[in-house]
Amino acid sequence: MANPQSSDIPPRVHRLKAQMVAHSLDAVICMKPESTFYLSGFNPIIYSEPIFVILTPHLDPILLVHVLRGKHAEASTWTPNLFLYGTWSNITTLAPTWPAALTTLLGDGNSKRIGVEQEFLPVTQFHQLVQALPTAQLADCTALIHQCRELKDADEIASARIAAQLADRGMEAAVAALQLQGATERDVVLASMRAMHEDWAAHYPDVEICDFGSLEGGYTSGLTAWVLSGPRQSFGCDNPVQRVPQAGETVSVFVWTVANGMHAELERTVCIGSVAASEKEALHATLDIRGEIALRLTPGTAVGELYETAKKGYDRRGYGEYLPGRIGHSIGLGPHELFSIDARSDRTLLPGMIVSLEPHIHIDGVASTQYSDTILITEDGHECLTRFPARVIQVAQAIYT
């Protein structure tokens, strides 16, 4: 973003600042890729050198990046406070190393109470922080950031809508490809990914589809799909292979997308011609159970109650012993973000949350169902962001004879 201003700072920053004051934190230092993006709008894709966001109750976020990422950060971030560390060519930086840069920005800690993400922070970097800020008290702020991330800002919801639209396009292409004679799992995946990337190129010129990388690599595209057919459905996730789905089988199609950091997922089961009665019964049961849970997707509903609704639906239809450990999860900067919809969750649904709904039935050798949608909790209910029909999908058997 050229020439960012304080007016560009999104509401999530102010929510976190309020949490900092409530928990007596003088500063927060974030290093987790999702968190630094959340508080700056900058994703370097490759994190070969650490990226930092420093937040205090009274200043806009401070983005500290290695000099190699400086121009990219300057073009991307919405915070006006950008500093560089490291040595590269003749470029002036704050300090040659990130610990020295932190000391320049924060002193030796000045006996401050500083929040860090202990859930993510590597031990080596934690010790480097202690050495750089010897008088600071380092406290875990992971839960505070998670609490802020649960409620999406308007820009995040807009990006999630785009991710969902791209997922719909990918699913359309996957189902169409499954109707082609001799199409393999890989053919279907290629068709889905090609369609999503073409749609992105044609309609979303200002949308980034990169995902969050690591010290050793990056993801320039998060528009992905995978397909599991027949006996491979029990794998849950795997690279597609050169297997051709056979008549009478079902196929699990998974489409995961990202737009400006926000994820969406869309999953469906496709029948190749007529399938066994037991499989079709499981498909209808899954869809009916989804419908019962969806009635409870409203603000104020305890997440644990959603799981209990699912359990009753499984028991009533004779599938109780096949109840999965979770029937969904939150979605945002991660495809599986902060909490699961399970019996242990203590969360309550609130407007602005985004979740998946994915009860399924897997019985080895008998049935395998896979349905998932990306759903926004609204002020008066919910909105399904992914729009591909949730129904029993059957493609023509004659093609597979």
Interval 104-148: pLDDT, tens: 999 876 779 999 999 999 999 999 999 999 999 999 999 999 999
- Determine the pLDDT at residue 109: 67
Q: Which of 398, 397, 401, 372 is nearest to 250 (CA)?
A: 397
- Determine the pLDDT at residue 1: 53
- Determine the pLDDT at residue 6: 60
CB 381 within 8 A of CB 256: no
Is residue 331 within a helix (H) or strand (E), and if so which, with residue range?
Answer: none
Q: Which fold has domain 11-149?
A: Creatine Amidinohydrolase; Chain A, domain 1 (3.40.350)
Q: What percent of the chain has pLDDT over 90?
A: 91
Judged against a pLDDT cut of 70, whether residue 397 lies above it is answered with no
Where does 151-395 sit in CATH, by number?
Answer: 3.90.230.10
Q: Which of 33-37, 370-374, 395-399 has the lowest mean pLDDT?
A: 395-399
Query: pTM, whole model, 2 decimals?
Result: 0.94
| Helix 98-106 × helix 123-132 angle, to 10° | 40
How far apart, in whole angstroms, are the C-alpha atoms of residue 377 and residue 155?
Answer: 15
Collect all residues with Cβ–Cβ distance below 8 Å to 68 and sequence separation of at least 6.
48, 49, 86, 88
- Determine the pLDDT at residue 5: 58
Q: Is 34 helix (H, G, I), strand (E, B) or coil?
A: helix
For the segment 86-90, the average pLDDT, to the nearest whole number, is 95
Q: Which of 35-49, 127-141, 165-179, 384-398 has the lowest mean pLDDT?
A: 384-398
| 400: confidence class by pLDDT, cuts 50, 70, 90 | very low
Structure tokens at 215: 């010290």
Is residue 214 within a helix (H) or strand (E), and if so which, with residue range?
Answer: strand 211-214
Q: How do residues 235-266 score in pLDDT, each as one tens digit?
A: 988 999 999 999 999 999 999 999 999 999 99
Q: How do residues 286-325 score in pLDDT, each as one tens digit?
A: 999 999 999 999 999 999 999 999 999 999 999 999 999 9
Q: Is 30 helix (H, G, I), strand (E, B) or coil?
A: strand
- Determine the pLDDT at residue 159: 98
Sign of CA dihedral 114, 120, 125, 126: positive
Q: Which of 123-132, 187-196, 210-219, 223-232 has the lowest mean pLDDT?
A: 210-219
Provide the greatest CA pair distance for the chain: 75
- The residues spanned by each domain of the chain are 11-149, 151-395
